[in-house]
Amino acid sequence: MKPAAFDYIVADSLEAAVAALAGAGGEAKIIAGGQSLVPMLNFRLLKPSVLVDINRIPGLAFIKESEKTIEVGALTRHHQIETSPVIAKHLPVLGCAMTHVAHLAIRNRGTIGGSLSHADPAAELPMLALLLDASLEIASASGRRTVAARDFFLAALTVDLNDGDIVTGITFPKLPAKTGWGFEEVARRSGDFALAAVAATLTLSGGAIAQARIAMTGVGPTPRRAGDAEALLTGKPLGPDLIEAVIKLVRAGVEPESDLHASADYRRHLAGALAGRAVAAAWRRAQGKTA
Ligand SMILES: Cc1cc2nc3c(=O)[nH]c(=O)nc-3n(C[C@H](O)[C@H](O)[C@H](O)COP(=O)(O)OP(=O)(O)OC[C@H]3O[C@@H](n4cnc5c(N)ncnc54)[C@H](O)[C@@H]3O)c2cc1C
């Protein structure tokens, strides 16, 4: 199918993009990489009267390191994140996750701002933003605001963005010292969306887990943290019994839905198994071993 007719505005500055969105009275859509939007236009699931192309806005594609954070511009392509030495050094779990996003051709166009704004229930980047306690910078005609990732994902394909809002960047706190990570995903084929995926970080202190973070995707309408399992891990060294307890808690805490790709029971089973593996890998890496 072909999309319904629309006007096309190429914005050459953030101000121009914000003005174009504000002028369209809620009838406009931003286009970034187009890898999720264009299929939706072609299937006529969306019929905006105006597309505002933000690709030529300077200064929105960058990876910037500061003392405690890594800031990533909204127009940064998935492949830039995947191959960035800064990401590999400070947020290796993010770099690893990117290799699971779609295929190289799609990763060359798709952007972090687009993926977070689109918020597919099985996407990797929303899960990573939640895992790493990231925050999103958002600009609109009425000013700028910052939203924590934990407050951003509201429902499937629904985020805390109003008509006229543009995500301009994402800020990730660097991982603390003595932190290991794990990332585990099951998809039907390489490049497909996850049936389920889990990412974890463990920060050690004195041989025990000082901070545990576990995030999941594909097991509900939005990415979610496994808060009960995180609390259980905190203050203890990891061993086989604790991993088993994490698996049980994760399975008890998710409510996936059945669809064409997998049953709810299978997704629940996967969530537990992947959480166990991700936590075990994070524990090994935190001790300087290979996963
Ligand atoms: C075959 C295929 C397989 C894929 N597999 C995966 C996968 O395994 N995992 C995965 O995570 N993704 C997957 N994707 C999606 C891909 O990662 C997209 O690149 C991403 O979801 C959207 O990014 P984009 O830049 O292309 O956004 P676009 O398609 O341009 O936009 C998506 C939505 O976000 C809005 N938007 C875009 N940028 C902004 C912004 N800066 N501020 C506010 N709103 C904005 C748009 O208006 C639109 O509603 C796949 C896509 C395809 C076609």
What predicted TM-score, i.e. pTM, was given to this entire model?
Answer: 0.97
In the prediction, which pLDDT does 1 show?
Answer: 75
In the prediction, which pLDDT does 163 show?
Answer: 94
Per-residue DSSP letter, 103: -
Going by DSSP bridges, is the β-strand pair 196-205/143-148 parallel, antiparallel, or unpaired? unpaired
Report the 10 Å Cβ neighbour count for 155: 11
% pLDDT > 90, the chain? 98
Q: The domain 7-53: what is its CATH number?
A: 3.30.43.10
pLDDT beyond 90 at 97:
yes
Q: How far apart are CA 276 and CA 283, in angstroms?
A: 11
State pLDDT tens for residues 137-183: 999 999 999 999 999 999 999 999 999 999 999 999 999 999 999 99
Q: Residue 290: pLDDT band by 50, 70, 90 thresholds?
A: confident
Q: Closest ligand 1 atom, CA of 110?
A: 19
Residue 74 and residue 60 in contact, taking contact as beta carbons nearer than 8 Å:
yes
Residue range 226-235: mean pLDDT, rounded: 98
Across the chain, mean pLDDT equals 97
State pLDDT tens for residues 172-220: 999 999 999 999 999 999 999 999 999 999 999 999 999 999 999 999 9
123 lines ligand 1 (CB under 6 A): yes
217 lines ligand 1 (CB under 6 A): no
In the prediction, which pLDDT does 208 show?
Answer: 98
Distance of CA 278 to the CA centre of its chain: 17
Q: The domain 179-286: what is its CATH number?
A: 3.30.390.50
pLDDT beyond 90 at 116:
yes
Q: How far apart are CA 254 and CA 76, in angstroms?
A: 32
| Ligand 1 centroid distance, CA of 17 (Å) | 18
Q: How far apart are CA 263 and CA 49, in angstroms?
A: 38
Please identify which residue in the block is written with the tokens 């511009």: 73
Pocket test for ligand 1, best of 27, 30, 185 (most atoms within 8 A of CB): 30
| Ligand 1 centroid distance, CA of 33 (Å) | 7
State pLDDT tens for residues 242-256: 999 999 999 999 999
pLDDT beyond 90 at 27:
yes
% pLDDT > 70, the chain? 100
The fold of 63-173 is 3.30.465
Q: Where do the domains of the chain lie?
A: 7-53, 63-173, 179-286
Least confident range from 1-5, 115-119, 125-129, 282-286: namely: 1-5
The residues, any chain, with a CB within 8 Å of residue 52's CB and separated by 6 or more, are 9, 11, 17, 20, 21, 24, 28, 29, 30, 31
Q: How far apart are CA 90 and CA 108, in angstroms?
A: 22
Going by DSSP bridges, is the β-strand pair 153-155/208-217 parallel, antiparallel, or unpaired? unpaired
pLDDT beyond 90 at 291:
no
Pocket test for ligand 1, best of 6, 37, 46 (most atoms within 8 A of CB): 37
